[in-house]
Structure 1
Amino acid sequence: MSVAVVRRDGPVLVRAYGVRCVETSISADADTAFGIGSCSKAFTSALAAVLVDAGAIDWDDPIRKYLPSFELYDPWISDHVTLRDLLANRTGLSRASAGEYGSDLSRAEILFNARHIQPVAGFRDQFTYSNIGYAAAAEAMALSVGHPFDRILNDYLLTPLGLRPGNMSRADDNVAAPHYQIEGKVRAVPAMFVDNLLGAIGQTMSAREAATWLRFHLAEGKSSAVGSSRQIKETHLLQTARRDQTLNDGYGLGWHVRNRRIQHDGSIRGFRANIWCDLAGGLAIFVATNLGSGFAHFAVTNRIIQLMRGETVTDWITHFDEVLRKEFIDRVTSFNEEKRKEPVSTSRWSQEEFVGTYRHEGFGLLHIEPKDNHLWFRIDGLSGFDGPLMRFSSLGFEYQGERDAMALARMAFASPPQGDRARLRFQSDGHTIQGLTWDDWFGSARFVRS
């Protein structure tokens, strides 16, 4: 675990705990880099602030000014979407995890496929989280300057701040290995390939680097080697309000914003991270773990906040365990309700009728194949994402593989469905099976039977 706690006038704690990798038992230190997942988005928005200040781009320029080939589902939105829209997550694009990262697709293919992904909300209507928008913004910035994104990030932001080049492909050997708990034991797994989504994910950071990064934001660009105070402040301002919250709560540019506090968490294979800054109170915290499960990054952040404020400390581990327990109960309850309402025993559909190839223009071909006495799922372009499908209702199946089956290095065995795994649902016209949806991994996308 890597931790940095910073006041406006300097660091309070800069330290790492535990080991870089369980297989070597080499201790982590304050310079050990950890994957930070979507906390990378704040680097992208800060780079945009620097380029706006330099006159290379403008927040409200249409993205096609720099990336003419970029298209979204709606042609009018494609013509009018701006850099600000993409960084504020207000394009209406949904999060479709399986189609965004961990895939074998190139960056160009991911951006091309955005035109086939239907929006889940109106343009500039509300906050909808999307990694593809950040990848597009990063590519537009790269084209505006004439160099690859990772180079301009280093030249315009990281190097002036005294930070090392920091994506997951860094050659530095002081990098934590990603881990998962597999069959009751913590094991190291291969790092995820992230080059196809740089700008959205992929950065790494050590506790010492985090201390510098946190002070940069607490100062809001004042006396900084990069950017103007005004443009850095712009990234901290609310751009998109949440529909179910007050106007003080929503998303800025690379940050979740609530009053004068900014925060972002991130997850990537084998890592979890959280960054929290109280801009008014002058306190900022970074916590990263190289274990890709659990809520330690949130629990430690919240504990430090309470300690620094002199408040009674909550048992955050128990709190988050209860959150997980409730989510599990809710998921199993809906599973059992569907089983009761649409029992397999009275279904008109035989298992063989689901076998076939299903297509989505943005995510490619999804194959449902027979295997032993159950079905098997695989999808082109997502190696390692395959496994058994176990039927639990007339049109519902539970996926019993792992999202990162190759990374987890485990075999997927079919077992009676229990309701705690990812689920997909087929659709019919009453005569034949027409398609399927899989909200857990593909958002609102519908795969149509070929």
Structure 2
Amino acid sequence: MNPNRTPPKAAFSLCIGLAAFLLAGCAAGELEQAPPPSERQFDELDSYIETTMRDWRVPGVALAIVGRDGVIHTATYGTTDITNGDPVDTDTIFAVGSNGKSLTAAMLGALQDEGALDLSQPIGSVLPDFAMADSDHDAVTFEDALSHLSGLPTQSGLGAWYLQGADQPSLVQSIRRVKPVAPLRTRFGYNNSMFAAAAQAAETATGKDYHALMQAKLFTPLGMKRSSTSLDQFPDGNLAKPHGYVGGQPVRIAFHPVIGAAAAGSVNASLMDMTRFIRMMLNGGTMDGKTVITQQTAGAIQSVRHELAPDEMPEIFQILGGVEYPQEVGQLGYGLGLANVEYFGSDYAFHGGSIDGMTSWMMWSPQAGVGVVVLTNSGNIAYPAWASFAAVNAAAGLPADRTLVRLASMRDAIIADPPTPEGNGMAPALPVAELAGVYANPLGGFEIVAGAKGHADLRFIKTGYEADVTSLGGPDYWVDFANPALPDFGLTLTSQTGESPLILSESPSEYPALFAADPAFTRRVD
């Protein structure tokens, strides 16, 4: 038996629950004429957020609506931490996860504007030791990396940086051990490792590390004074704490220190800082009269390079299919660190972010002249996404979107604990106690310690993430993390029984492999 690994837990429940609901024939609202935006509509929006965040069990929310000339509306709700009840305010810092990709793209655009690099040039022309497993892909450019068109499998480096704690150089080196699944520039495959490669090349071109470049080229020019790319850079204690779900209820979990894939998701920022980034993009690269990136570069970042097929980004298609007026949603595409969709006749750039108990969503339209950002300390990406559409509709004078009310029945399915595969009834090839030892591959490893009653404890050495290991029968075992935000997965004993050293490999799965570069972990022989 090869157990099916669950994907990251928030995405898993969203795929299962939301897809089932939408396929059942969700009735969308009928389009009605709406008045221009008013304070009354914003009052209704605030009431809607206050009600739905309680219903969806979201501890804290920060929301802003912006126009080209400034912030139109801000509101904060709930608490930074369910254990102490401290309130969220507009200066509270949240981890914004993959929304950081958009900021990274802007930083690289600024480097292009000053001549330090060209986004159309191959990464290997700047980073000589960079290589892909297939030489036909060695021509991959910065633009290819930022638009997820490298040909690599979706999330092929996730386990390396998320669980093993691989640093950026190691993560970039591992790319050469991952076999592409599509020709270059033909298929979208969401991949954090290629953002790490782009950042590594930018460091080589400038002699400055990624964190310094983000500060110098983006945060400082934009006046994003409460933004950082590292957990140890927070200016004070006004910090939202991450929350996952156990048994459908929010629980405090640990922060995830994003190291190897910093360029893909390490940004921490306040609500007000994020409004400054959106205003800059609404204004074609300028902020308060100061050019941060050129209009040409801002346009290129937001322009569609690849129109997405439903199987290339299914979770996003499901989110867009769930909004109140799906008939007003047009073709979904992707630019440079930004997605793009037509909505009510205007083009909206957008992105979502999720990192261990923090989720967020931002979207804006230069055509409509409005943008929104929603930050939460909840491990449920559906909530900030659908809250953002409610805010856009209020800001643009569109009919009210009440998706979070209409789909409230899906909440429990979306935040439910993922299932554990059933055992096959076979006797274990080895009792879990006999798996004890330290296992490693080129990017790191874990230790297994024998436990009680047929269980063992697993701990990733660099990150400290802990899990329970149980037998599914035969050579197959299941790794179940204590942290509800982490992706459970299967291990298969691939060495012969009694052979030394023991080798545990990631079990084949219908989902993208966590350890695509190095799926086998070999037990150390002392």
Shorter-chain TM-score: what band?
0.7 to 0.9
**Alignment partner, residue 507 of structure 2:** 437
Alignment partners' CA distance in 2, 1:40 and 1:244: 24
Deviation (angstroms), 1:281: 1.8
After superposition, the C-alpha distances for 1:363-390 in whole angstroms (9 at most, x for unaligned) are 4445666533424363654433332233
Q: CA offset at residue 360 of structure 1? A: 7.8
* Corresponding pairs, count: 426
- Which consecutive residues of structure 2, in runs of 5 or more, have no partner in the other structure? 1-60, 313-329
> Which 10-residue stretch deviates more, 54-63 or 312-321?
312-321
Q: Is the 8 A contact 2:159 2:515 kept in 1?
A: no
Residue identity opposite 2:175 in structure 1: A
Partner of 1:231: 297
Whole-Å Cα distance in 2 between the matches of residues 114 and 381 of structure 1? 22
% identical aligned pairs: 20
Match of 1:70 in 2: 130
Distance 1:400 1:448, change over 3 A: closer
Q: 1:175 aligns with which of 238, 242, 247?
A: 238
What is the alpha-carbon distance in structure 1 between the residues aligned to residue 194 and residue 494 of structure 2?
33
After alignment, is 246-255 or 222-231 more displaced?
A: 246-255
**Structure of greater relative contact order (alpha carbons < 8 Å, 6+ residues apart):** 2
Quote the residue 2:228 is aligned against: 166
**The 10-residue stretch of structure 1 (428-437 or 388-397) with the greater mean CA deviation from structure 2:** 428-437
Q: Which amino acid aligns with 2:379?
A: G
SS state of the match for residue 69, structure 1?
Answer: coil
Q: Distance in 2 between matches of 1:365 and 1:394?
A: 23
After superposition, the C-alpha distances for 1:94-141 in whole angstroms (9 at most, x for unaligned) are 314332235433322222222223334332221111111112212211
Q: Is 2:407 aligned against 1:319?
A: yes
| Deviations 1:201-244 (CA, angstroms, capped at 9, x unpaired) | 11122222122211111122255421211111101111233233
1:352 partnered with 2:414 = no
User: For 2:296 and 2:228, how far apart are their aligned partners in 1?
Assistant: 26
Match of 2:336 in 1: 253
- Quickly say closer, same or farther: Cα 1:213–1:447, change in 2 above 3 A: closer
Which SS does the other structure have where 2:361 is aligned? Answer: strand
SS at match of 2:263: coil
| TM-score, with structure 2 as normaliser | 0.70
**Structure 2: distance between partners of 1:81 and 1:74:** 11
Distance 2:250 2:239 in 1: 14
Asked if the contact 1:357/1:365 (under 8 Å) is kept, the reply is: no
Match of 1:243 in 2: 309
Q: Structure 1: which amino acid aligns with 2:242? A: H
Hey, what does 1:32 align to over in structure 2? 92
Aligned-partner Cα distance in 1 for 2:416–2:255: 28
Q: CA deviation at 1:24?
A: 4.8
Alpha-carbon distance change, 154 to 370 in structure 1, aligned in 2, over 3 angstroms: closer
Gap change, CA 1:20 and 1:403, over 3 Å in 2: closer
Which residue, out of 246, 258, 263, partners 1:199? Answer: 263
Residues 444, 145 of structure 1: alpha-carbon distance in 2 compared, 3 angstrom cutoff? closer
Q: Secondary structure at the match of 2:291?
A: coil
Query: What is the CA RMSD across the aligned residues, in angstroms?
Result: 3.6
User: What TM-score results when the alignment is normalised by the length of structure 1?
Assistant: 0.81
SS of equivalent to 2:87: coil
Q: One-letter code of the match for 1:178?
A: K
- The answer for the alignment partner of 1:116 in structure 2 is 177
Q: Which residue of 1 aligns with 2:29?
A: none
Following the alignment from structure 1 to structure 2, what is the Cα–Cα distance between the partners of residues 282 and 245? 31
Distance 1:82 1:358, change over 3 A: farther
Give the 3-state SS of the residue equivalent to 1:196 in structure 2: coil
1:127 and 2:188 are equivalent in the alignment: yes
Out of 205, 221, 233, the position equivalent to 2:285 is: 221
Tell me: CA distance 1:5–1:264, structure 2 relative to 1, closer, same or farther (3 Å).
same
Tell me the CA shift for residue 362 of structure 1.
5.3
Secondary structure class of the residue paired with 2:199: helix
Please name the residue that 1:136 is paired with.
197
Deviation digits for residues 57-114 of structure 1 (CA, Å, limit 9, x no counterpart): 1111111222222233234423x12111111111133314332235433322222222
2:519 maps to 447
Q: Distance in 1 between matches of 2:72 and 2:244?
A: 31
Alpha-carbon distance in structure 1 between the residues aligned to 2:135 and 2:120:
18
Higher mean C-alpha deviation, range 285-294 or range 186-195: 186-195
Q: Secondary structure of the equivalent of 2:354?
A: strand
How far residue 316 of structure 1 moved from its aligned partner, in angstroms, is 1.1
Q: Paired residue for 2:104? A: 44
C-alpha distance in 2 between matches for 1:429 and 1:197:
32
Q: Partners of 2:435 and 2:136 in 1: how far apart?
A: 38
Deviates more, 1:20-29 or 1:170-179: 20-29
Equivalent residues in 2 for 1:139-150, closer than 5 Å: 139-150=200-211
Indicate how the Cα distance of structure 1 residues 285 and 28 shifts in structure 2: closer, same or farther if over 3 A, else same. same
Q: How far apart in 2 are the matches of 1:349 and 1:24?
A: 45
